[in-house]
Amino acid sequence: MLDASLLLHGGKIDAVAISQLTDADAVAAALGAATAPEQKAALAVAAGRLKATQAKAALVAQLPSEGFTGRAAAWALAQLGAEAELVAAVKADALDARENGYWGLMVLAARGAAGTQLAATLVAQLGTEIERAKAGKTGLGEHACRVLAIMGAPKVEEHIQKVIENDRFCDRFELQRLRKAVQDGGRDSDSVRELTAPFTTLFADQLFSEAPPAPAVPAPSANAPLAGAPGKAPPGKGPVAKPASPQAPHPGASGAGAPGDDGELDQEPGAAPAPGAPTALPIDWKAFAASPECTALPAQVKGLIGQLGPALEQLAVRAIQAPLVDLNGQEFAALLLQVLPQALPQQAVQAALSPQALNGYQALAKYLHRVGLATQGEELLSGVKLVRRELTEQMRRSGILNGPDYSDPDAPKVT
C-alpha cells in the first residue's frame, strides 16, 4: 500500500511527491486506511489531482473535518464533479461540513462544472441559512451567495441584501465585495481565477518548502527614505501599514514624538540620545531568546524578532521619546505602523509587518509583561492586537484575496 507519510515533509504536504503519483487506485486505498489528518489531506489532494473517483466515499467522510483536512477533501470532490455530495454537505448540521461543502461548490462552480439546478438549490438553502441566523445559530449565507456570484446566477444582489438584513453576524465585507463584482462584471471573476489555480497555488500555505533564512533587517537609518507610500502594498502579497493616527507625545517627552514630514529620524544609530530623551531601560535580549515565549516560536520567527526587537527598542527612544517597555498600547501600535516602516528599507518592511513578525512581537510583549519589565501591564500586547486589526482592515478595504493571515493565534477559534 502507498505510504502516505512519503507525501509529507515537516507536517506539510510535499507537492513534488504528490505530483509524481500516477496510481489512482493506490491513492484511494491509502486514503480509506489513513487516520492522521495531515496524511488524509495530502491523499485528498492527490485523489483530486488524479480524478480518483474510487476515493469519493472516503472524501465525503472527510468533509466534516476541520481545517485543511476538510478543505482538501472538498477541493478533491469538486475535481470529481461531485455536486450531489457537496450539496448534501451544505445541508448537514455540522458547521465544518457545511463550510467545506460550500467551498467545494465554489471550486466546482469556478470550474464551470455546476449543474443546471444548483442555483435553485442554493437559493433554497440560502433561506435555511437565514433561518439559522435568526435562531441565533451560525448562518453561512455569504458562502451560498459567493457560489451564486461565481456562477453569475440571477438576482444575486437581492440574495446578498437578504443576508445583510437578516444575519447581523454575516461577513458584510465579503458580501459587499460580491455585490460590486456582480455589478461590474456579472459574476465573481476574482474567485474564479483564485479557485481554478493549480493546487500548488491554491494550497501554497500548506506546502512544504525549504525555510529560507530570516531576512536581514538593516539597522534603522536616519536618512532612510519612506518605505513606500503609506497604505500601499509593495510588490508581493499583503498591505503595508499606513501611518497610525497621530499620538500625543509620551508623558515626559520633549519635542515631537514621531519622525518629521520628510520621513527622517532625528539621529544616526548609536548616537547620543536627543536632549531630553529618556535613557531606555535595556532589554536583555539573550534572556528573551531563552524564554519560553521565544523558544516556542519557529526558528525563522526567532531570527526575525532577534533582529527587529533591538531596532524597535532603539526607535522607541528616538521617535516616541520613551523606552519600549514604557509604551502604552496605542504608542506601541504607532511604533509598528508608523515609525518602523519609515525607518527600514522597503524590502525589509514586508517582513517586519508579516504575520510571523507580529507573532514575534506578541511573544516579546508577553515576556516583558511576565518578567515585570513592561511598566503598563499588558499594554504592549494590546498594541500588537491593534496592529493585527488595522492590517486586516487594510486588506479588506483593498479587496486583497488570499492575503496574509493576521488573525490572533491566541484567540479562541470561532465555530
pLDDT attached to residue 2: 94
Q: Does this model's pTM top 0.85?
A: no
Looking at the chain, the whole-number percentage of residues with pLDDT higher than 90 is 53
pLDDT attached to residue 398: 67
Mean pLDDT (the chain) is 82
Neighbours of 88 (CB within 10 A): 14
Q: At what angle do helices 379-398 and 355-370 cross, to 10 degrees?
A: 160
Phi then psi dihedrals of residue 13, to 5 deg = -75, 145
Q: Where are the domains of the chain?
A: 4-206, 214-415
pLDDT at 229 over 50: no
189 contacts: CB under 8 Å, gap ≥ 6: 181
Instruction: Over range 89-107, report the average pLDDT.
Output: 96
Phi then psi dihedrals of residue 12, to 5 deg = -120, 160
pLDDT attached to residue 10: 85
pLDDT at 209 over 50: yes
Instruction: Over range 51-57, report the average pLDDT.
Output: 97
Instruction: Over range 386-397, report the average pLDDT.
Output: 84
Look up the CATH number of domain 4-206. Answer: 1.25.10
212 versus 55: the higher-pLDDT residue is: 55
pLDDT attached to residue 261: 34
pLDDT attached to residue 253: 38
245 contacts: CB under 8 Å, gap ≥ 6: 334
pLDDT attached to residue 216: 52
Residue in the block written with cell 507610500: 229
Rounded CA gap, 120 and 124, in Å? 6
62 contacts: CB under 8 Å, gap ≥ 6: 31, 40, 44, 69, 70, 72, 73
pLDDT attached to residue 366: 92
pLDDT in tens, 237-285: 344 444 333 333 343 333 333 333 333 333 333 444 444 444 445 789 9
Please say whether the beta carbons of 327 and 380 come within 8 A. yes
Looking at the chain, the whole-number percentage of residues with pLDDT higher than 70 is 80
**Which amino acid is located at 152 in the chain?**
G
Instruction: Over range 140-166, report the average pLDDT.
Output: 96
Hey, is 121 helix, strand or coil?
helix
pLDDT attached to residue 240: 42
Write out the H or E segment, with its range, that includes residue 122: helix 118-134
pLDDT attached to residue 277: 47
b/e burial code for range 204-222 (CB count within 10 A of at least 16 → b): eebbbeeeeebbebeebee
**DSSP state, residue 212:** P
